[in-house]
């Protein structure tokens, strides 16, 4: 496909995909799929909470590092016509 994101956008997208993949570890039965309590919180809940907090932090970091500087670059194919 044309117009894949470039540079920092790619890095951001990669981080998003990695964290998203980590969210699936309990659902796929690979890891952290247990009601065992860690710090008083079920393991599965703790892991997913950590992942989603990381995603939220990524959103904030993404804004500061990438999206604030967007205007005018990295258009869709149609934008640039």
Partner 1 sequence: MTTIIVTFVILYLVAGLCLGVFAMKRSQDSGEDYFVAKRSVSWIPLGLTLFATWMSTFAFIGSPGFYYKIGVRWFLPHGFLVVGSPLLLWFIGRHIWRQGREHGYITPADLLADFYKSHTVRLIVACICILALIPYCLIQLVGIGKVLEVATHGALPYVYGVVLSAVGIAVYTYLGGVRAIIWTDALQAVVFGLLMLVGATVAVKAAGGLAGGFKSATLVRPEAFTFAPGKVGSPLTLLVIWSFGYVLLPHMWQRAYMAKSEESLSRSIVLGSVLALALICIPSLLMGTLGIGFMSDLPDTDQFVPTLYRTFLPAALPLLVVATFAAGMSTVDSQLLSAASVVVRDIAQPLAKQRFTPHIERKLGRVFMLTFVSLLVALAVSPDSQGSIILLASKGTGIALLLLVPLCGPLFWTRATRAGGIASLLVGPAALLILEANLIKMHLPFGVGAPVAALVLQAVFFVGCSLVFRKDPSS
Binding site residues, partner 1, CB under 8 A:
1-3, 5, 13, 16, 20, 23-24, 26-29, 33-35, 37, 39-42, 44-45, 48-49, 51-53, 55-56, 58-60, 62-63, 67-68, 70-71, 75-79, 81
- Closer residue to partner 1, CB minimum distance, 3 or 6: 3
- Closer residue to partner 1, CB minimum distance, 6 or 33: 33
CA distance 32 to 55: 18
CB of 57 to partner 1, least distance (A): 9
Asked if 51 and 16 count as a contact pair (C-beta separation under 8 A), the reply is no
CA distance 21 to 37: 23
- Closer residue to partner 1, CB minimum distance, 11 or 23: 23
Q: Which residues pair with 41 in a beta bridge?
A: 38
Matching residue, tokens 């799929």: 33
55 token code pair: 């995603």
């Amino acid at each position: 496909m044309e117009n894949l994101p470039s540079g920092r956008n790619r890095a951001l997208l990669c981080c998003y995909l990695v964290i998203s993949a980590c969210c699936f570890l309990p659902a796929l039965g690979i890891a952290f799929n247990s009601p065992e309590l860690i710090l008083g919180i079920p393991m599965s809940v703790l892991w997913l909470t950590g992942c989603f907090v990381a995603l939220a932090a990524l959103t904030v970091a993404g804004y500061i590092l990438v999206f604030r500087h967007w205007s005018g670059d990295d258009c869709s194919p149609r934008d640039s016509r």
